[in-house]
């Protein structure tokens, strides 16, 4: 899949579910519950044991029907391994220029984490495709609007603190997409994948309402 198609896939879905777990089996259970609930863009965090195997397994099971990325990627070596395993986008908690360049080499999306305008410009200069605002809960949806005023060209994806109840606020303030963590996958840590699926369905329903108000 070409990079521009991956970008459009994120824009169409608007939500990236974050899969972070204590084991590969739990991660797969969370991922499958998210997919069953309608969230079909997923980030598998590298803090999860067996991350590469999780990505490979999900790619084999779902093909191009699910968009898969790797998260908590700190360096280009890890990015390359994830890409070879089937990751279509690479998400980081910080800006690493070499990691962004690795993504460009393989034509996958680079989505580094930033918090300040200086970091946003640094990431854009390096070739970042989507800018992850993290941890977004520290300042809330209004911070997205504040950043967008001087940097309207920056495609922002707040991550951290996104819930069903405040989902619309992030988009009303200029978010391109959102990353959703514990408010989606939290119950999966104890093996309650039914609850994860229920939460996924709630997010999808909320997103449909938000989508009707988007330009």
Residue 19 tokens read as 């899969």
Write the DSSP symbol of residue 193: H
Residue 213 falls in the annotated catalytic set: no
| Pick from 146, 113, 162: nearest CA to 15 | 162
The label of the residue with tokens 């998210």 reads 34
Determine which one of 77, 119, 132, 145 is catalytic.
132
**Structure tokens given for 42:** 């997923």
- Residue 42's DSSP bridge partners are 17, 68
Reference 35, options 193, 213, 206; nearest CA is 193
Catalytic-labelled residue, pool 3, 32, 43, 145: 43
- Residue appearing with tokens 């946003």: 120
Phi first, then psi, for residue 41 (nearest 5°) are -125, 120
- Residue 43 is a catalytic residue: yes
State the Rg of the chain over Cα: 16
**What is the set of active-site residues?**
43, 132
């Amino acid at each position: 899949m070409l990079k521009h198609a991956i970008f459009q896939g994120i824009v169409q879905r608007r939500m990236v579910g974050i899969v972070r777990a204590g084991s590969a089996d739990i991660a797969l259970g969370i991922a499958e519950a998210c997919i069953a609930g309608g969230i079909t863009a997923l980030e598998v965090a590298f803090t999860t044991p067996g991350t590469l195997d999780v990505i490979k397994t999900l790619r084999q099971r779902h093909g191009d029907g699910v968009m898969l990325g790797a998260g908590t990627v700190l360096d280009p070596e890890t990015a390359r391994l994830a890409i070879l395993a089937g990751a279509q986008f690479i998400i980081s908690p910080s800006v690493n220029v070499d990691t962004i360049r690795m993504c460009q080499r393989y034509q996958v999306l680079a989505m580094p984490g930033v918090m300040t305008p200086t970091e946003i410009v640094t990431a854009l200069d390096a070739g970042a495709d989507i800018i992850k605002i993290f941890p977004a809960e520290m300042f809330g949806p209004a911070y997205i609007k504040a950043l967008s005023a001087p940097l309207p060209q920056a495609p922002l994806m707040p991550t951290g603190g996104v819930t069903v109840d405040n989902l619309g606020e992030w988009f009303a303030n200029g978010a391109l997409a959102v990353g959703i963590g514990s408010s989606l996958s939290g119950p999966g840590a104890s093996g309650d994948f039914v609850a994860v699926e229920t939460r996924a369905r709630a997010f999808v329903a909320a997103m449909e309402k938000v989508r009707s108000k988007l330009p």
